[in-house]
Amino acid sequence: MKDQRERLSRTTVILHWLIGLTIIGMLAFGLWIEDMERGPEKGAMIGIHKSIGVLVLVAATLRLFWRLGNGFPVALSVMKLWERFAAHAVHWTLLLATLAMPLSGILMSWAGGHDVAVFGFTVLEGGEKNETLGTIGHTIHSIGSKVFIAIIVIHIAAALKHHFINKDGTLRRMLGRTVDT
Ligand code: HEM
Ligand code: HEM
């Protein structure tokens, strides 16, 4: 089923919450790992972080194609032009950031000469060490994560505004409900 105005498809709802909640967890996990002291425990945590990150990349790619084929959900409230533009810009940024975070992580690892594995299965062998590419990957991953967090906060605030102030069904619809307004 495709997305409809009064009801979103199961694919949209499942991908939204699966990816969204995993991303929030991965941002917190990454910041926590960053503060750990170097050692085998940190190495093991980075391994888990990388494994989950690659799986997020697979889900995020599926979602990108789903959105390109399906368009974004139609707004329920009458919105001003700038509000419609802002919502669209935030949704696109969130989608692209969900791809940019794992891709920059993979670049950083690969250019650092480290393999990328998903729970023990190598999906990409480490390349020759390349400091420039490693720095580009690290900068995108690190600065990108802070920008991502700021945009997620704006996104959640907008969802709560729709629910509590506009009192429309935007949040309920993303929770899988059928809505009429
Ligand atoms: C869902 C996608 C991902 C998110 C949201 C995410 C988030 C983060 C964050 C917030 C940090 C801390 C950055 C900082 O403050 O400098 C981090 C560190 C890191 N991430 Fe990711 N990451 C993701 C995917 C990946 C992937 C796919 C890889 C590699 C294959 C990866 C490898 C790393 C590495 C190596 C570090 C540095 C740890 C350290 O040196 O202390 N990440 N990540
Ligand atoms: C607990 C936190 C979250 C809440 C309450 C929430 C709520 C919502 C709601 C209500 C919509 C529907 C908007 C509409 O109908 O126009 C939506 C759409 C969207 N959200 Fe979230 N969201 C959350 C977390 C996230 C996170 C972390 C991401 C980033 C990966 C994200 C990415 C998106 C995207 C890309 C859309 C557009 C529709 C889609 O592709 O699924 N959300 N969100």
Residue-range domains of the chain with CATH: 10-174 (1.20.950)
Task: Decide: 26 in ligand 1 pocket, CB within 6 A.
Answer: yes
Q: What is the pTM of this model?
A: 0.96
Measured between alpha carbons, how far is 100 from 94 in angstroms, rounded to an integer?
10
For each of the chain's 181 residues, which pLDDT tens digit applies?
A: 799 999 999 999 999 999 999 999 999 999 999 999 999 999 999 999 999 999 999 999 999 999 999 999 999 988 899 999 999 999 999 999 999 999 999 999 999 999 999 999 999 999 999 999 999 999 999 999 999 999 999 999 999 999 999 999 999 999 999 998 6
Q: Name the region of 176 (left: φ>0; alpha: ψ -120 to 50; beta: rest).
A: left
Residue nearest to atom 6 of ligand 2 (CA): 156
Distance from Cα 122 to the centre of ligand 1, integer Å:
18
**Residue closest by Cα to atom 17 of ligand 2:** 174
Q: Tell me, in angstroms, the distance from the centre of ligand 2 to residue 21's CA.
A: 10
